[in-house]
Amino acid sequence: MSLEILPVVGIGDVVPGDDLAALIAGAAPWLRDGDVLVVTSKIVSKAEGRLVEVPADGPEREAARAEALAAESARVVARRGPTTIVQTHHGFVMAAAGIDASNVDKTHLVLLPADPDASARRLRAAFAARRLDVAVIVSDTMGRAWRNGLTDVALGSAGIAPLRDHRGEVDPYGNELHITQMAVADELAAAGELVKGKRDQVPVAVVRGQPWGSPEAADAGAAVLIRDEASDMFSLGTAEARAAGLRAAATLPAAGTAGAALDPAVAGRAVELVRPHLADGTVVEVTDAGVRCVPPPGGGARALIRFGADVHRLRAALLAEGVATAVVDTDGDAVLLTATAV
């Protein structure tokens, strides 16, 4: 199997209400059944009127931009300097919610299509009405963690399976393949970007020769490429997650039902972490019942206050190990930290 990646030139400026299928078919009379169209989301948004009017400059422009960002965002993922990475209502994690001020006049911002899979399906149907059986990918440029430079990915798709599944396949040596699923739609979007410009002269690329996968898998749409927050190991920026940890320490439940056993190895790690930071005279030991903390004998109010902080340090260290604690008063002024019954 070999592929051709062909640019579609001459589409020109797209305005709300434009018939994209007509524009693309007019610019690419050479389209064939089986082709995959990679369409830049920008022209889909423009045709669909996903534009926000904004002042051309000044603080009003910034305010309007911030308002659009808030409206498009489901949650903030990370912030650093002028960069805000959010998860959009669609589920995409993108800088500035994918809102773009380039390739549009200065009095408008372009939002992402409201439902890129639906946009892709509509476009595919419009080509079908012209008796052309093409698959459609709606693409956009995205940043990523760990690597410099941006790549294009698929926001929406129709007619083609976004994932290629290798689960259960066996290599020539009899090993089951570790790689489970390849994000074919993202790779096609990336391939398309190579022949497209960044200045809207070439908003569409055609990939010729790519199999579409099973019709059932094709029905899923590019939404299957969105990893849900719960199964994402990088759902928050590092600084934001670290701050969340500090806030968890600040808001540890005061009460808690004691009872669960505390793994001595885990307790030992927490104690070793905190030990260099304990107040003079505080005694901490790991016992079968939990972590026993004893204040300095005959200490005054100041010593007891510092001891209280020591106890809280230990609770934070234990939570860092995944152990929620209850504080149990024992003999004298001593305190016992036990795991809470979850």
Contacts with 138 (C-beta within 8 Å, 6 or more apart), sequence order: 39, 40, 41, 44, 113, 116, 119, 120, 123, 154, 155, 156, 157, 222
Closer to a copy of itself at the Cβ: 126 or 278? 278
Closer to a copy of itself at the Cβ: 38 or 132? 38
Rounded Cα gap, residues 181 and 167, in angstroms: 7
Closer to a copy of itself at the Cβ: 44 or 279? 279
Rounded Cα gap, residues 50 and 65, in angstroms: 14
Closest approach of a copy of itself to the CB of residue 38, in Å: 11
Closer to a copy of itself at the Cβ: 125 or 242? 242
Q: Which pair of tokens denotes residue 101?
A: 């001020």
Closest approach of a copy of itself to the CB of residue 310, in Å: 8
Closest approach of a copy of itself to the CB of residue 143, in Å: 9
Closest approach of a copy of itself to the CB of residue 184, in Å: 7
Place of tokens 């010593």: 303
Backbone phi and psi for residue 308, each to the nearest 5 degrees, phi listed first: -60, -40
Distance (Å) of CA 177 to CA 26, 111, 168, 169 = 44, 40, 7, 6
Closest approach of a copy of itself to the CB of residue 250, in Å: 4
Closer to a copy of itself at the Cβ: 122 or 313? 313
3-state secondary structure of 132: coil
Closer to a copy of itself at the Cβ: 108 or 264? 108
Rounded Cα gap, residues 14 and 26, in angstroms: 13
Closest approach of a copy of itself to the CB of residue 231, in Å: 9
Q: Measured on CA atoms in the order 245, 249, 251, 255, is the torsion positive or negative?
A: positive
